[in-house]
Amino acid sequence: MMRKNKQAKRKQKPQLIHWRLYVVVGFVCLLFTSLIGRAAYIQIIEPEKLRHESDMRSLRTTSREVQRGLITDRNGEMLAVSVPVKAVYADPKVVYDKNGFADMRLWEALADVLHEPEDKILSRVQANPKRRFTYLKRQVTPAVADYIKKLKLPGIYLKAESRRYYPTSEITAQLIGITNIDDVGIEGIENTYNDWLTGTPSKQKVRKSRDGHVVERLDMVQEGESPNDLVLSIDQRIQQLAYREIKRVTEINQATSASIVVIDVNTGEVLAMANTPSYNPNSRDNLQSYRMRNRALTDAYEPGSTIKPFVVAAALEAGTIDKDQIFKTSPGRIRIGGKIVRDGRNYGDLSLGEVLVHSSNVGMTKIALSMPVQELLGYYQAMGLGNYSGINLAGESTGLLHDRRRWSEFERATLSFGYALTVTPLQIARMYAMLGGKGVLYPSSILKLKKKPEGVQVISPEVAQHVMEMLIGVTEAGGTARKAHIEGYPVAGKTGTARKAVAGGYGEDYVALFAGVAPVHNPRLAIAVVVNEPKGDRYYGGDVAGPAFAKVMSGALQMLNVEPISSKEKVRLESHVRRTE
């Protein structure tokens, strides 16, 4: 019986537990349904969230750095150029996270190559451990950058930037100006044309891998603009010659400062503009503001006798005097309104040309009083005094030209020999360029022009030529500027020596000037030289400024291949000059 029961148990089949199967199947179905639902939700209803999270990890915006545009002279010589350098910066958080202070010898080496105290470098990094950026040094050379890279200091990185370099150094310092540490123009042409010289970097969205490599380039976020180059009217050969000569004059005469301007009479382009004292724009240590000022257009002086030719031109144009008129200057002085105007000596009767050659204040007083003061002031303004020159450089002074109704006769007299008004060296050069340009006044330009600008006819070509021919005698034997004579190139110029005004009157310091145009038979250049406060006994314009004018004018005319006067032309010109005497 027991054997039969055991056999019955062995033959019994296993029974399925249906509810367990149903639970497992239900759970699996629920799982798949959840996964399908979640996938559908992510891909159909809210797909952007996942994309956004992915983009946050891989998308970056990169920019292409652009360097500042070149500044060249009219012949393509470099005056300002950007050179690639590096900025050294630290990420303090990375330094701390990667135990960057484990080897302090590396920090000592870093401080040494940057020429900075080690404690100063460390204080910048240790000031805030959670900070993500701090500069350690700007504008280091590529060689220094390579050395820093080899140190492999954690959290120390290099960033590309550029630094402005000026090949001509102090020769064009005040004119070109400088940029700051961020390559933004802050002085001179660099400042005035900053927007033109500065490009805009292009920005593009890219996808990067974990190691920082670009794996896909996407949309362009911002189209960049390439920087523009700037071609100046300056001729570097003439600029170098001009600076050398006024620096020499400044040193010999121990003058406080000096300026020179060279203008093309046919276009108004400035071919040279130099000042002393100057500075080295490539070395920013101990910059002094008085050295950085472009005195040729910022500083105004009483012009002295350099203004006299334009009083003569105004009177001839107005018809109040005749070109053959004789002026009585005896006994070498004249009383005007209770005050006395004097000449250096008694010149007796003088022709119009001799009034200019001998720089007679008495003769000029009679010419000035022959015309209404408002008419004379009108001609001064038409010739550019009291107005901007059109050069469009920051800091330009208009000088001082009083506009009032009442003038005493003595004040009218002083207007004729360069007092009671102030002018800049640029304005003086521009007025003499007007004489050489047949009476046409052109706007001054520091940029090279593609075509001749439109000028204003201030005086007739005949009057302009007549005044120039009268001025030839100033640099000949018997004139006040024999040292400004140039063999082969007849010069129409005038000296000026003006006392400097102080509180309550005039002091013992002088301004020595010489301005002129050459060659008279075929005018090409106008030059003004102003020497401020020369020391010693030699302070007259003919002695101080005249020699510098002669050397610069002679050298510049030869550089421009201007032919000397021919024998035939010389005879014709001399006959004209004799008729003016």
Q: Catalytic residues, which ones?
A: 305
Provide DSSP, 198-245.
--B--EEEEEE-TTS-EEEEEEEEE--BPPPPEEBS--HHHHHHHHHH
Q: Is 46 exposed, middle or buried (0-12, 13-18, 19+ CB in 10 A)?
A: exposed
**Rounded distance between C-alpha atoms, residue 253 and residue 536, angstroms:** 7
Residue written as token pair 């034997």: 477
Q: Identify the helix (H) or strand (E) that includes residue 21.
A: helix 18-40
> How is residue 578 written in tokens?
């004799």
> How is residue 373 written in tokens?
């003061």
> How is residue 267 written in tokens?
């276009």
The DSSP bridge pattern shows strands 456-457 and 270-276 to be unpaired
Residue spans of alpha helices (H) in 103-235? 104-114, 118-126, 142-151, 173-176, 188-192, 194-197
> How is residue 190 written in tokens?
């660099």
> How is residue 463 written in tokens?
């009057």
Helix pair 308-318, 373-382: axis angle to 10 deg: 110
Q: Identify the helix (H) or strand (E) that includes residue 4.
A: helix 2-11
Best CA proximity match to 301, nearest among 515, 553, 548, 11:
515
Label residues 79-98 b or e (16+ Cβ within 10 Å = b): bbbbeebbbbbbbbeebbee
**Rounded distance between C-alpha atoms, residue 433 and residue 447, angstroms:** 17
Label residues 165-204 b or e (16+ Cβ within 10 Å = b): ebebebbbbbbbbbbeeebebebbbbbbbbeebbbeebeb
| Spatial CB neighbours of 505, under 8 Å, sequence gap ≥ 6 | none
Q: Identify the helix (H) or strand (E) that includes residue 159.
A: strand 156-165
**Rounded distance between C-alpha atoms, residue 295 and residue 299, angstroms:** 5
**Rounded distance between C-alpha atoms, residue 275 and residue 294, angstroms:** 7
Q: Can you say how many angstroms the Cα of residue 510 is from the centroid of all Cα atoms in its chain?
A: 29
Phi and psi, residue 337, nearest 5°: 55, 40
The neighbour count for residue 569, using CB atoms within 10 Å, is 16
Phi and psi, residue 13, nearest 5°: -85, 150
Q: Coil, strand or helix: which one is 7? A: helix
For residues 308 and 417, the answer to whether their CB atoms sit within 8 Å is yes
The neighbour count for residue 312, using CB atoms within 10 Å, is 25
Q: Which amino acid is at 440?
A: V
